[in-house]
Chain A
């Protein structure tokens, strides 16, 4: 078959002792930096990018793949251990992963995340190899109205997933969208809400925003509690999932992989949507729905697999259409450009060895990840035993260095202090930050696609229901809204989020 011949070419090019070594080093460094609380995948990749400059294109891409997966897994690790999501796609992992850690099941959560991610990575790689050309055709049908409706669906999902009051979650999403609009309006060439600060011309930077809202707000909340109430003081049981946990995790991982592989293909934040969607599904079909939010195994296995499958297949729009669908992909585009590789349709036809070599390297990267991380889980878990009074200053300085390193800007560091105060206030007022963050990421994209749709339709909003894919997405959003409003679901939801 064609696919196997292509994959064989890819593996032939990718698997050389030198490349395997680069992948191993990349994976190790990626996890090491990514696992540091407060440094997410974007910051990790950006920091490690310079070490790949000297290599030939394929080796450098292979090393980057290692760094990417390492950073991604490192991000999930901090999400589980200290409730710090490195990027939006691990926000979901925080909900139940952190609760599992609080119950002393951190080891099991990390193992499930690693194995689920590996499985999803394998499937994702095969999906890319088999369907990249076909799926590119489907993704090409997406125009602005479809993108807009898709993002709307994501935001509705974020509201459904939020704790507590629905109306506050909606307000947080909208506020997030507003924050996302800060910066230069590229279409009109006007800067908005920047107060003349040049650091804000490209928008509020994601890294200090996420660190401030999640990392520091959590830290200040933690310090207010007495030592014995604190999340860090539980003891760790076995590193391995129990039989019951495995039984719950395996089907959830399978479903997550399926959702992730599919949603990851859609440009516009596939991995994020995938983890949200997987969590919603797991919660919907679970027999013990009350466990969600309190450390449900499926709530880690599903989204983690979905997230990784999505991270994998989100390379499809990048490789076939040249669209970076996530902030991390945008960094990857930067790295490819430095190597003189322009992602897009030409890549497959003009440089097939590189294209397939890269796909093979994704699988190799996933394999390395498991090989390195299963033995090291104990080490990551040991981080929990460090007393909080020693841990939080370290987290603080790492976040500060991370925020500063993004663009060597002291402004971003000071802005982070302001955002931390805001995040703390939101927590005190019972406003959830996760919907805010998703709104923030999607804000500029939604505006752009809304504008384009309106130009296409001469100002008529009916364009969103006239196009079939867009209509389906809108109907799905409406169904989600109906579910929240239904009294029976409302009650379950309130029970589920009771802490």
Chain B
């Protein structure tokens, strides 16, 4: 029975194979061309095969050689950080910079277990004011401070 001896290597290899396979799948439709006249599919296909090949070697090594375990992750920081970034993207054009920054700061603060609510609210307000002054007033970035468009 096969046993994964190095989870880091094994899963890294799997990830590389997945990326390579995805590139091969998406790249099927691009013309390959010849060595002299390389088509748009030439290099992507070659590179994707190399990635798949290297991934396979890494998987085999993960099965054969003992190695590092994957450090346990925590869901909380990842979830709130990613949520905060996505929220920024969704809100910036709908409600403007100031409210977006306030909301995003609060959501991001949730990522840390050391969150103190009063502090987070104060930081949110401070960051909103500072961002509007810096990015809109000082740097003249093309984004509204306030708006409402859903």
Contact A171–B58 (Cβ < 8 Å): yes
Interface of A is mostly: helix
Which chain B positions have C-beta within 8 A of A416? 85
**Contact partner, B112, options A178, A389, A397, A447, Cβ 8 Å:** A389
Tell me the bound Cα distance from A187 to B58 in angstroms.
34
**With A and B bound together, what is the CA distance between A175 and B74 in angstroms?**
27
**Chain A residues within an 8 Å CB radius of B131:** 397, 401
Kindly state whether residue A392 has any CB partner on chain B within 8 Å. yes
Contact of A429 among B40, B43, B44, B70 (CB under 8 A): B70
B12 touches A397 (CB 8 A): no
For residue A447, which residues in chain B have a CB less than 8 angstroms away from its CB?
38, 43
Whether the pair B54, A450 counts as a contact (CB closer than 8 A) is no
Query: Interface readout for A204-220 with B: 1 if CB under 8 Å, 0 if not?
Result: 00000000000010011
Is B19's CB under 8 angstroms from A420's CB?
A: no
Q: A170-B54, A174-B51 are in contact. Are A396 and B104 (CB under 8 A)?
A: yes
Asked if B127 and A394 make an inter-chain contact with CB atoms under 8 angstroms apart, the answer reads yes
Q: Is the beta-carbon distance between B140 and A389 smaller than 8 angstroms?
A: no
| A393→B108 contact, CB < 8 A | yes
Contact A193 B27 (CB under 8 A): yes
User: Which A residues touch B39, using CB under 8 A?
Assistant: 188
Distance in Å from the Cβ of B111 to the closest Cβ of chain A?
Answer: 5
Chain B contact residues, majority secondary structure: helix
Contact indicator B8/A393 (Cβ below 8 Å)? no
How far apart sit A187 and B112, CA to CA, in the bound complex (Å)? 48
Nearest CB of B to A385, in Å:
16
Residue among A170, A188, A416 having the largest count of chain B Cβ atoms under 10 Å: A188
- Whether A458 is near chain B, meaning CB under 8 Å from some CB there, is yes
Please report which residues of chain A, range 218-235, place their CB below 8 angstroms from some CB of chain B when the two chains form the complex: 219-220, 223-224, 227
A185 to B148, CA, bound (A): 39
B141 interface residue per 8 A CB criterion: yes
Minimal Cβ-Cβ distance residue in B for A396: B108
A411 to B70, CA, bound (A): 31
Does chain B have a CB within 8 A of A143?
Answer: no
Q: Which residues of B contact A188 (CB under 8 A)?
A: 31, 39-40
Q: Is the CB of A175 within 8 A of B51?
A: yes
A162-183 interface mask toward B, CB cutoff 8 Å, 1 = contact, 0 = none?
0001011011001101100100
Interface pair A408/B142, CB less than 8 Å apart: yes
Contact A459 B34 (CB under 8 A): yes
Chain B residues within 8 Å of A198, by CB: none
A431 beta carbon closer than 8 Å to chain B = yes
Q: Bound state CA distance, A408 and B136, in angstroms?
A: 13
Contact B108 A392 (CB under 8 A): yes
Q: CB-defined interface of A448-460 with B at 8 Å, one 1/0 digit per residue?
A: 0011001100110
Q: Kindly state the separation between the CA atoms of A47 and B135 in the bound complex, as whole angstroms.
A: 9
Q: Is the CB of A430 within 8 A of B105?
A: no
Within 8 A of B (CB), among A21-58: 33, 47-48, 50
- Among B89, B124, B141, find the residue whose CB has the most chain A CB atoms closer than 10 A: B89
Indicate whether A397 sits within 8 Å of B73 (C-beta atoms), given known contacts A420-B81, A454-B38: no
B96 at the interface (CB under 8 A from A): no
Do B30 and A192 touch across chains, with their CB atoms under 8 A apart? Answer: yes
A359 at the interface (CB under 8 A from B): no
Q: Which of B16, B44, B50, B89 sits near A410, CB closer than 8 Å?
A: B89
What are 25 A-B pairs with beta-carbon distances under 8 A?
Answer: A48-B139, A165-B9, A168-B12, A170-B54, A171-B16, A171-B51, A174-B54, A178-B48, A188-B31, A192-B27, A223-B112, A224-B73, A389-B109, A393-B108, A393-B109, A393-B120, A394-B127, A396-B84, A400-B89, A404-B143, A410-B89, A414-B85, A420-B82, A430-B8, A447-B38
Chain A residues in contact with chain B, CB under 8 A? 33, 47-48, 50, 165, 167-168, 170-171, 174-175, 177-178, 181, 185, 187-188, 190, 192-193, 216, 219-220, 223-224, 227, 387-390, 392-394, 396-397, 399-401, 404-405, 408, 410-411, 413-414, 416-417, 420-421, 424-425, 428-431, 447, 450-451, 454-455, 458-459
